[in-house]
Structure formats: structure tokens, C-alpha cells
Amino acid sequence: MAGENAIRSKVKRALRQPSNGALRWSLFRPGETGSEHRDSIIFVVLFAVCIAASHWCVARFGTIFVWPANGVLVAALLLLHRPAALRVLIVCGAVNLLGNFLRDSPAHMIVIGTALNLAESIAAAAIARRFCGAGLDLRRPRRLTAFVVLAVAPTCAVAALIGIAALRVPLHEFAVGWQTWFAADALGLIIVTPLLVLAAAHRRENAGRPTRLVEPCLLLGLVTVITLAIFLQSRAPLEFLIFLPVLLIAFRLSPIWSALAILIVATIGTVATLSGHGPMTLGVLGPVEWANAQTLRALQTLPTFQLFMMALIAVALPATTVLTERRLMAGRLRARTAAAIAARQHIAHLAAHDADSGLPNRTGLMQTLERSASGGATVFVAALSVDRFARIRAAIGSVEAARLLARIAKRLAASLPGERVALLSSDTIGLQMQCADEASAEQRLRAALAAFDVPMMVADAEVDVGLTAGLARVEGAARGIDRAMIALDQARLASVPLAWFDADTERVAAGGLAMLSVLRTSLIDGSLWLAHQPKLDLKNGRVAGVECLIRWDRPGHGRVRPDAFMPLVEETRFIEPLTDWVLGRALSDQAALAARGISVGMAINLSARSLGEPSLVARFAAILAEKAARAEDITLEITETAIMGDPETALASLNALKRLGFGIAIDDYGTGLSSLSYLRNIPADSLKIDRCFIAGMADGPRHVELVRATIDLGHRLGLKVVAEGVETEEQLALLSLLGCDQAQGYLIAQPCPVAEIDSAAIAVWTRHVSAPDDDIACAVGG
Ligand code: C2E
Ligand code: CA
Ligand code: CA
């Protein structure tokens, strides 16, 4: 909007400054050819020659065969295009000659007069066109012919009508009639044709322009008064005064007013002439005879009239040129302004919409969100992705997939009338909702998602299209969409159809990048280390092994638990060097302990991503070789979910690691989407019951039964069973009773640095279970 106004005010300013170079006040309008100056000089010289020739002819031969050629010649030359000029000249010359042969016949004047009027009309039109910049191109033969035909009717309507009326004047008063005819001729020449040309040229400029009645009435009144003055007051030169109102009508008003002006002049002229009023009445000239002295005198005034007429044209046309230029420029500017505004709107539309589907894009949705949010509404935004979209795209191609996404978006829009649906990216749909609160937003979205219970046709096949949505309340438009995207990621990770934005996730994500870069340097600067937490063998009271848990003393932040950074690390390739570092450090710690006479098996945690990495086995083998260590002394803890992402690769890696000699423990058993088939396939040695089941035992006998059943299951599969998160004596006693093999938890020990592990520490760890023999409290195990 602001842009439009700026353009409009620029246009107005440009129009207010006629001297800014666009408008030229020169007498003759310079055109494209550059020959205007030369033509102007020729125009003036020829005109002077014609006037002189008229004088000479009248004096010498008593005839005036040169006069009609004046305007014609001038105009023909001004046409610039030689062939057209030649045609006009030939016609005029022929008519002139004919006039001289027939000059004694009373009827010849009708024919010649009309033809000459016509020729001069064309000439005047050419002048008008030339000076006023009108759009009629008379240089083309077809256009010239069309114009001649068009010009005949109105030219005759005025000139011939008045002229023929003059024929009714008795022959002995012929000079009077002739002069009247001349007045008609001039009127036809000056009024009709320029009007025609200008009205035709400016019709488009005037279109749609509201006309107030004052101006047309004033101008038509002026036309009436002047015409009456010409015919009733016999003031011949007055005929040239009519020029001004008539041109103003042509320039400023619609063609209908021009037609009215023509009608007024023709009617007054005809009626006045028929009732004996002419510009040169008997009252002025007295009774005259054909070719008498007074007629001659009258004829001798002709060149003076013509001079006067041409002078008027020379002054009036350039003046009107300015008017025309201004109008044309205004029109052009208006058109350009409209085009610029339209282009700007088109560009804005393109920027805010998807080109193929026409749906709003991210920018478009952001604009809508900004508007809605600034309007004070409670706005929610959702990001939706199509489940398995990558697979669908691979199957049907990206073009069809884009179409499918647009169809889904449209279906969504149909089920949420009044809300805005957009395409956020090639696989994400955005949605704006205005709801009273979170609960109603969620309810509406769930209802909309239900619309997708009906399968969609994709590439001639019915496909169940599932959508996953992230939902956020909008506080700032851009943040709103980002938050919905984060929520969408959360929903995908948790495999739920809908998730709300959680501010903590965002904070972690924002801090995550910075954290990762610091973490990389921590591998070498010593701020990363392993804490060790013992597992107690419940059968013999010894330490069955220790689990290595990563710790990070982040500079400036204090100790950071793995839950705060491991998920982030697992999303990047940094997990590989970190896993290698953990194995290496565990082996070093193990060697350090062995040097102090404490021989203990160690367990490290493997993330899902590590397990999916084909290079894992080779890297671990290399680390073992480098440290001259045995795989048998290390247990790898993996969760069931770590297998689920890419079971084939994960199981292949596990089997290879098992062959290398590593022990395998199933971690956090019971929390994942446990599938018995995984239990069967994983080459595990032990199974760690997740701490939530251990804590849950206090809740009742059913929970205890669950733990008992799990222990039995493990045993039947030939696995050692470890209880995690043992925090109380009761839990420990119960687990012993249930036949659990090992226990790990804060009751036995908090994870601690390797330096703190000594015989005194081991004595504290093992105090809960009385060992059958006291001498060795520590044994190598998984
Ligand atoms: P996890 O493998 O289940 O590790 C056990 C977690 O439970 C540890 O938390 C430990 O400190 C805590 N824990 C031990 N006993 C008790 C108890 O009696 N009560 C309670 N409430 N908690 C207890 P931590 O050290 O924060 O580790 C969290 C998770 O981080 C670990 O879960 C493991 O999945 C991951 N992690 C730790 N170190 C590594 C590592 O080096 N590599 C990988 N990939 N993951 C690691
Ligand atoms: Ca573990
Ligand atoms: Ca665990």
C-alpha cells in the first residue's frame, strides 16, 4: 500500500513540473527523425511562397488557383513520408487543374470545393497529428484511405452543407456566396478535421474520465457565440477564434462533445446562410458582379486571411501540443503506475505463495500470522508432515509428491474452514488456527487429522496418508513457525501423531550447537571423563564389574550429565570419535586399576547411532590392538531400541563384536518397545532390568511378579540378570530372593572417578552382601 502511494505521489510531482524536460515548449515538436527543424524552415518558406504566388496570380490572371495548395503543400511536406506527400500533392494538383478548366461552370464549384476541402482537411489533420502527437499514422496507404473515408462525412457536414447553402445565393451575388463558402471551408478545415483526429487519438486518454457539466457547457456556449458572430456579424476573422474552444473540447472532453460542437457549427452555418446571412453580406460589399473590382478586392483579402489562419495555427498548435503531451504523459504514467503496482503485487504474491499449488508458502503464512497476532487474536500454528513421505516421494517422483502434498493441504483447509493452510517446505504443511485456548486448538487439529482416515488416491493406488503434527502457540510469527517445527520433530521422535512445543527442547536446541563445538575440544583437554558405577554380584557378594558413565566438566557450566548432551551428540557424526574415546578411556582406566591390583570388568554404553555405523567393528578392533587389551574384559551395553532403527546392520555389528570377544548386555530392559524376537536374536550375555521396574516393586505384588518373571525369562534365555537403580536395602533383599544375579544402584555406590576406586571403596560397595569367602572382592565379569 505504501509503495502504491509513493508511486502515485511521484506521478503527481512529475505532472506538476512541466519544465522537467519531458515537456517541450518549442514551436515544432522534435520527433524521432531529427529532421523537424529543416521541415519547419521549409514550412515557413513555402508558406511565404504560396502567399506571394496567390497575390501574383490574382493580380496577373484574376484567378487564385494556388490557394488550396497552401495548407496541402505544407501538410504534405510535414508528413515527412515522401510517397504520401507526393500522393496528396498529385491529388491537389489534379483538382486544381480541373478547377481551372471548369471555372466557368456553376456546378464545378461543388465538386472542386468539396474535393479541396477534403484535401485541406487531410492536410490539417496531418498538421494536427504532427504537432499534437496524435496516434494516427497516415503514412500507411491503408490508414490514409481509411482516414479519407472517415473524414468525408463530417467535413461535408460542415463545409459542403454551408457551401451548398451558399449556392442558393443568386449568381450576381456570387462573391458573397463564395466568401461564405470560404468561411465554411475554413470551418471545415480547422474545426472538423483536427477534432476528428484529436478525438480519435485521445479517446483512450479520456476514457473513464468523469466529465463535469460546467466545462462542456462553457465551451459549447463559446462555440455557439463565435459561430453566430461569424454569420450574423459578418466578422470573417472571427472564424479563427472558434479554433480555441473547439480544440479544448477535443482535448479535454469525450468525442460526444466534439460531435455536438460540429452539429452546432453546421446548423448555425446552414440556417444563417439560407436566411441570407454570410460573413460577407451585401451590407458589407454592396451589390457585386462576377469578377468585378470589389470581388477582386475581396479575393485579394484571401491571402491575408490565410496568413492570419496559419499564424493562429502556428501559435495554437504548439500550445496545445503541451497540453497533449501532458495528457499523454499523464496517461502513460498512469498506465506505468498501474503496471508497476500490478507487477509489485504480482512479485509480492509470488514471494508469499507456492508457484505450483498457489498455496501460501512460509513467507505467506508468516505474514498472515503477523496480521492475526497483531490483531490481538490467540493464534496457534501447526507444522504437519506426511508419514513415510520420503518413501512416497521415491515411489511416485517429486512432482507427483509435491502435488500430493498440495492435495493434502487443500483437504486440510477444507476440514478447517476459516483457517490458513500453507506449504512450509517440500514436505511440511503449515497451519494457522485461531482458537480460544490450547485445548480447543488441539481438539480442532485432531478433528482435522481425522479427515485423513479416508485413504487418498496416489498414482492410481489407495494410500493411507498419516500426518504427524507439531503445535505451538504464536508469540512472534517467525518463532511460532520454528516452534511448531520443533514440536513436529518431537512428535516424530516420540512417534505420536501430535506434540506441543516444549520450551526446554528449544533451549537445548539453541544451546546445542555452541555446546557441541565446546565438546569437541573436551576430548583432548581432560574435561571429559568416565565415572564408574559398580555392579554387585548377589550370589557371591563380589564386584561383578563397573559401568562406565560419561561425565563432562564443562568449562563455566559445571558438571553436565550425559542426558544433557548425548542425545545431541547422537544426532551428529561426533558420536563416532566420542564412542572411540569412551572405549579407549575405559581400557586405560581398566589398565590403571589393574596396575593397582584391582582387576575388574568394565561396561560401556553404545548408542543406536554407533551401532548402525558400519566402521564400528573395525574401529573397536583397532583400539583393542592399540591398547593391547582383551575384548573379553569389556561389556557393551545396548538398548533394544538401538537395534530397531536398522536391525540388519545393528545385529551384524553385534555379532561381529561378539565374535571379537566383547560381552553384550541389554540395557534398560522393559522400557523400549520390547519385542521378544529381538531378545532371541541379540547375542547377549546379560539383561539389565530398567530401574523403573525396580523402583516399582514397592507398588505391590504384581510389580514384584513382573520383575520375577523378567528374571526367569532372562535365565531361561541363558542370560545373567542385572537390576538397575537399586536404592534401598529392601529392593536388594527382594532381588536376592527373586534370584537376580547382579545389582547396580546408588545403594551400592554412586558413579565415581577411577582415582577413588581402591580396596576401601570396594569394601564399602560390597558391605551389603556377605561374601562366601572374603579374600577377593573383585572379579572379572560382564
Ligand atoms: P544408563 O546406561 O541406564 O545408565 C544408568 C544411569 O542411571 C546413569 O545415569 C546412572 O548415574 C544412573 N543411576 C545409577 N544408579 C542409580 C540409582 O540407584 N537411581 C537412579 N535414579 N539413577 C541411578 P547417567 O550417568 O546420567 O547416564 C544416563 C545415560 O546416559 C545412561 O543411561 C546411558 O544411556 C547414557 N550414557 C552414559 N554414558 C554414556 C556413554 O559413554 N556412551 C553412551 N553412548 N551413552 C552413555
Ligand atoms: Ca547403561
Ligand atoms: Ca540402564
For residues 34 and 150, the model is more confident at 150
Q: Kindly give the number of the ligand 1 atom that is closest to the alpha carbon of 606.
A: 44
What's the pLDDT at 714? 94
In tens, the pLDDT along 119-148 reads 555 555 555 555 444 444 555 566 556 555
* pLDDT above 70: percentage of residues in the chain: 60
Ligand 2 centroid distance, CA of 549 (Å): 8
Q: Cα dihedral sign for 200, 201, 203, 209?
A: negative
Q: For residues 257 and 166, what is the distance between their CA atoms, to the nearest angstrom?
A: 27
136 conformational bin, left if phi > 0, alpha if psi -120 to 50, beta if neither: beta
In tens, the pLDDT along 70-123 reads 444 444 444 444 444 555 555 555 655 555 555 555 455 555 555 555 555 555
State how far the alpha carbon of 383 is from the alpha carbons of 161, 324, 491, in Å: 81, 58, 10
Ligand 1 contact via 54 beta carbon (within 6 Å): no
Ligand 1 contact via 537 beta carbon (within 6 Å): no
Q: Kindly give the number of the ligand 1 atom that is closest to the alpha carbon of 570.
A: 44
Comparing CA positions, the residue from 703, 716, 721, 635 lying closest to residue 676 is: 716
> Highest mean pLDDT: which of 237-246, 281-290, 769-778?
237-246
Ligand 1 contact via 629 beta carbon (within 6 Å): no
Q: Which amino acid is at 660?
A: L
Comparing CA positions, the residue from 684, 692, 689 lying closest to residue 654 is: 684
Long-range contacts, stretch 1-10, CB < 8 angstroms, 24+ apart: 3/341, 3/344, 4/341, 4/344, 7/337, 7/340, 7/341, 8/337
Ligand 1 contact via 670 beta carbon (within 6 Å): no
Ligand 3 centroid distance, CA of 665 (Å): 10
- Residue bearing the CA closest to ligand 1, atom 3: 668
Q: For residues 103 and 93, what is the distance between their CA atoms, to the nearest angstrom?
A: 15
Ligand 2 centroid distance, CA of 407 (Å): 46
Ligand 1 contact via 566 beta carbon (within 6 Å): yes
CB of 199 within 8 A of CB of 154?
no
Would the pLDDT of 611 be above 70?
A: yes
Ligand 2 centroid distance, CA of 774 (Å): 28
What's the pLDDT at 174? 47
Ligand 2 centroid distance, CA of 546 (Å): 10
Comparing CA positions, the residue from 474, 484, 487, 485 lying closest to residue 371 is: 474
Q: Does the predicted TM-score (pTM) go above 0.85?
A: no
Average pLDDT score over residue span 570-580: 87
Comparing CA positions, the residue from 225, 227, 235 lying closest to residue 283 is: 235
For residues 521 and 39, the model is more confident at 521
In what helix (H) or strand (E) does residue 271 lie, and over which residues does it extend? helix 255-274
Report the Cα–Cα distance between both ends of the chain, in Å, rounded. 74
In tens, the pLDDT along 488-512 reads 988 887 777 888 887 766 665 666 6
Q: What is the 8-class DSSP label of residue 158? A: I
Query: Which of the listed residues 522, 549, 553 should we mutate to test ligand 1's pocket, taking the one with most ligand atoms within 8 A of CB?
Result: 549
Beta strands in 231-325, from DSSP E residues, in sequence order: none
Ligand 1 contact via 727 beta carbon (within 6 Å): yes
Residues paired with 559 in a beta bridge: 553
